[in-house]
Each structure stands twice: as structure tokens, then as C-alpha cells.
């Protein structure tokens, strides 16, 4: 289909053996039109239980059962995916800023850069800047400097406690909204007719 990117559907299965080992098997299925299309993907449990080995040298695991969640990955070590998304977003913001500046100051460069952005989407910042650097190095440097400047500005203005509170409040509002959708409220007319 033209203009639609096909996403491969991938499922992961976990096999727990009696001796406590764990094996992950990747199974590739058909393709899906949308990333969230569940019709063609086998259902995967969001959390699973695994048997921990006894006698490991690590003091953290002492044997028994452990829960492994597949919802958002394991973030015990790093947030590299979040850092990558932030870098890509600041690249996007820098491209928009540079486009606005060029529109006001240099219409010819604006037109060229606009066409370049239309063909090479700035969703992956590293690839975008690499391609831009091959075409016009001065624009690539300008986007990189603008990206760094915008990040520095954001760091100074970002209030992490306020962000945590916003996320918490939004989660609570969404759960309350969902609860209101799922609760079946009795109607007053039906109760009065049955009682009377």
C-alpha cells in the first residue's frame, strides 16, 4: 500500500524448565498495518512468572518465583530509549526553529530546507543530521547548535516534581474516567417500579 509502513508482528514466548532455566523464543508472524493492531498478533502475557535458580552468586536472587513484566521493558539499568526519544524530539524542535528563522531571513534556503525535511523526516535525529550534513553542512551545524540550545533551555525550565505530579494526576483522571465508563448505574425509574 503506498504511504503505509508495514510493521512486522513479533511475539515472544517464555519457557520455564523444571531446573529453573529460562529461554526466550522470538517468533515472527505476519505483517500489520498499525503498531497496535492485535488482530494478527498472538496474545502475549503482559507479566509472567519465572523460577529463579537456587545458589546463584548474586545476593539479590535467593530462589523461588520472580515476576517478569513485559509491558515497558526493564528500566533497572538505564533509560536509553527515553534519552533517544528526547534527542529525536529536540532535533525535531530545532528543525522547526531553523525553518522559521530561514523563512524570515533567507527564503531560498528555506525552500531548499523545507523540501529536504519533506523528503527526510526528522523523526530519527541522528540519521536526519547525517543526511543533512552530506547535503549542506552549515545547516546541519545550525540544527545541532539549535538542538543543544533548546535542550539547555528546557533543562532550566523543567520542574521534575511538577512533571511527576502532572503524570500522577493524569493517571488518576484516566482511571476515574474509565471507572465511570464501566460502572452500571441503576436507573431511578426501574427501582421505584419494582419496589412499589
Same-domain pairing of 148 and 86? yes
Same-domain pairing of 61 and 14? yes
Which residue segment(s) compose the domain that 130 sits in?
81-157
Q: Is residue 147 part of a domain?
A: yes
Taking only the tens place, the pLDDT of each residue in 177-191 is 999 888 887 877 655
pLDDT confidence band for 23 (50 / 70 / 90): very low
Give the residue ranges of DSSP H helices in the chain: 80-105, 107-119, 125-135, 137-157, 160-182, 188-195
Q: Is residue 144 part of a domain?
A: yes
CATH code for position 117: 1.10.1200.210
- Per the structure, the count of domains in the chain is 2
Taking only the tens place, the pLDDT of each residue in 106-161 is 999 999 999 999 999 999 999 999 999 999 999 999 999 999 999 999 999 999 99
User: For the whole prediction, is pTM greater than 0.85?
Assistant: no
Q: Is residue 14 part of a domain?
A: yes
Which class for 129: exposed (0-12), middle (13-18), buried (19 or more C-beta within 10 A)? buried
* 112 vs 10, more confident: 112
Same-domain pairing of 45 and 86? no
Residue 68: enclosing H or E segment and its boundaries? strand 64-69
Amino acid at each position: 500500500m503506498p504511504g503505509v509502513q508495514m510493521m512486522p508482528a513479533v511475539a515472544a514466548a517464555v519457557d520455564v524448565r523444571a531446573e529453573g532455566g529460562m529461554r526466550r523464543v522470538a517468533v515472527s508472524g505476519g505483517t500489520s498495518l498499525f503498531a497496535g493492531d492485535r488482530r494478527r498478533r498472538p496474545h502475549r502475557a503482559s507479566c509472567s512468572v519465572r523460577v529463579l535458580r537456587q545458589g546463584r552468586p548474586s545476593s539479590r536472587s535467593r530462589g523461588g518465583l520472580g515476576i517478569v513484566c513485559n509491558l515497558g521493558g526493564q528500566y533497572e539499568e538505564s533509560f536509553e530509549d527515553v534519552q533517544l526519544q528526547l534527542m529525536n524530539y529536540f532535533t525535531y524542535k530545532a528543525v522547526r526553529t531553523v525553518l522559521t528563522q530561514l523563512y524570515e531571513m533567507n527564503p531560498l534556503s528555506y525552500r531548499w530546507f523545507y523540501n529536504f525535511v519533506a523528503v527526510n523526516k526528522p523523526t530519527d535525529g541522528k540519521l536526519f543530521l547525517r543526511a543533512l550534513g552530506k547535503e549542506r553542512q552549515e545547516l546541519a551545524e545550525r540544527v545541532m547548535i539549535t538542538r543543544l540550545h533548546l535542550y539547555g533551555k528546557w533543562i532550566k525550565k523543567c520542574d521534575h516534581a511538577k512533571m511527576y505530579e502532572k503524570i500522577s494526576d493524569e493517571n488518576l483522571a484516566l482511571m476515574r474516567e474509565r471507572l465511570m465508563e464501566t460502572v452500571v448505574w441503576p436507573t431511578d425509574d426501574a427501582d421505584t417500579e419494582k419496589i412499589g
